[in-house]
Amino acid sequence: MKIFNFETKIDIISIKQYFELRENDIFFDIETTGLSRKYSHIYMIGIGKIENESYKITQFFAETVLEERKVIETFLTSIPEYSRLITYNGDRFDLPFVAEKNEQFQNMLNNGFISSFDIYKAIKPLKSLLKLPALKQKNIEVFLGINREDKFDGGKLIKVYEEYQKRPDDENEHLLIIHNREDVYGMLMLLKIFKYFQIKKFNFTNFSMIKELDEIIFRGSTDLDLPTAIRIDHNDMYIILDKNIIKGICPLYDGRMKHFFPNINDYVYLIDEEKIIPKVLSSGINAERYRKPTKDECFIYVENEKINDSFLENEIKNLFSGI
């Protein structure tokens, strides 16, 4: 078995703006020879821990599958008792895999790492907001501008490890090590993604708008300071959020603006009049005259004279609170 150590300086104050880290948090990632917890093997475990202003990564590497038990034992004895393991999709993969091996090897696990935090599960609500193609760790890293040397995924590295066991060499060893190391390092860096949960509730520090003939152009500052700009096309508005700047366009229809209601189930659409009314007012109307509105129909027009900075600011806040 080989042990590799890597250390890098980090801006811990910046990271804590996005995520509440605990003293015994351990970032944790495994590499395996397959997906089957019963028949596949763990050939590498990487852990990362913050100490002062540094992020220290330790990797336990089985040069052959015969060293699997030693890798797991060394990992278990190296982490503080009652640590919280921070993973990416670890609740579905890494932790059940280790638990199965623990059972196979007659319960080596007698320390107290019970608590875990799965970044993947926590950020799933952000997928549609950020328009991510998938929620793999590398997708989030690309979105946040986190660069990797590693170009492989875990599945492709299985053959690399098989080749390494037959003919160990530095090149394949590097490919295996750098993939796991960058997974462990990347987990810390992608905690920035949690900043986007604050979009649902933010404050403007200033805001102004300009009315054109057929649209409103607006711009302002917020207290968000997002790590990466995002674009949102929602409820007739096109909005860009870039660091602490918000800007966008809202169309006008004969000088009027559409105000969308968040819950379409509270309204009905009058077919002949082509408008919506609150559902509570429909009790005396023939059921054939109305139907459930679509999301695009669930609005009323706001006249031009009522549209000012304060009104539009509230419209934008309401839009984001409902996303």
Same domain, 184 and 246: no
How many domains are there within the chain?
A: 2
For the entire predicted model, the pTM comes to 0.87
Q: Which of 140, 163, 196 is the last residue before a domain boundary? A: 196
Is residue 109 scored above 60 in pLDDT?
Answer: no
pLDDT at 107: 60
- What secondary structure does DSSP assign to 86-100, as a single string? EESSTTTTHHHHHHH
- 188-230 per-position pLDDT tens digit: 999 999 999 999 888 888 899 999 999 999 999 999 999 999 9
- Decide: 31 and 65 in contact? Cβ < 8 Å: no
Same domain, 19 and 161: yes
Same domain, 263 and 294: yes
Same domain, 148 and 268: no
Q: Which of 196, 219, 238 is the last residue before a domain boundary? A: 196
Any idea what DSSP says for residue 213?
Answer: S
pLDDT at 103: 80
Give me Rg for the CA atoms of the chain: 26
- 240-296 per-position pLDDT tens digit: 999 999 999 999 999 999 999 989 999 999 999 999 999 999 988 999 999 999 999
Strand order from edge to edge, sheet including 42-51: 2-9, 54-61, 42-51, 25-32, 84-87, 116-118
Burial tier of 286 (Cβ tally within 10 Å: 0-12, 13-18, 19+): exposed
CATH code: domain of residue 93: 3.30.420.10
Same domain, 150 and 215: no
Same domain, 307 and 184: no
Q: Which of 151, 173, 196 is the last residue before a domain boundary? A: 196
Give strand pairing partners of 268.
277
- Decide: 31 and 176 in contact? Cβ < 8 Å: yes
Same domain, 51 and 109: yes
Same domain, 42 and 152: yes
Same domain, 50 and 189: yes
Is residue 112 scored above 60 in pLDDT?
Answer: no
Instruction: Pick the closest to residue 123 from 82, 84, 86, 178 (CA basis).
Output: 86
pLDDT at 113: 59
- 9-60 per-position pLDDT tens digit: 998 888 888 899 988 899 999 999 999 998 999 999 999 999 988 999 999 9
Range of the domain at 174: 2-196
- 235-244 per-position pLDDT tens digit: 899 999 999 9
